[in-house]
Amino acid sequence: KYERCIVTRNKARLVAQGCTQEEGIDYDEVFAPVARIEAIRIEEEVYVCQPLGFEDHAYPDKVYKVEKALYGLHQAPRAWYETLAKYLLDNGFHRAKIDQTLFIKRQKKDILLVQVYVDDIIFGFTKNELCTEFELLMHEKF
């Protein structure tokens, strides 16, 4: 971030090269939750090479074991969806019967709808307070 043209913090993201994964060897299934028109741990053992520019010269042949779904892995969308779905279900939402990516929370006469679409969340509500509560809920974990 920049404050008065001075870098105050650097930020980097480690990205797995999912394009090098082979189906049946590195992963079994590809998944992306998509709303029907009519809704973050990985299970496999995955290892990645040391990122260019960040190699440990004392151990040049070592690799990193991936502990959570990194951006770029084929497993990442499912891990993200399962993490989000569990969090919503644990916090009073229920899944719609016709669409597994639609989550519903009712409070008396009011309703909050949360639609998961790949890596986006679309939501609607009948009362502004539900929107504020949902924003706070999401910030607690994510």
Q: Per-residue pLDDT for 40 more than 60?
A: no
What is the reported pLDDT for 37? 39
What is the reported pLDDT for 101? 92
Q: Per-residue pLDDT for 35 more than 50?
A: no
- Contact of 112 with 132, CB cutoff 8 Å: no
Query: What residues pair up with 6 in beta bridges, in sequence order?
Result: 3
Sketch the domain layout of the chain as residue ranges: 13-141
Q: Per-residue pLDDT for 111 more than 70?
A: yes
pLDDT digits (tens, 9 = 90+) for 55-86: 889 998 898 887 776 677 777 788 888 889 99
Average pLDDT over residues 76-105: 92
CA distance 113 to 118: 16
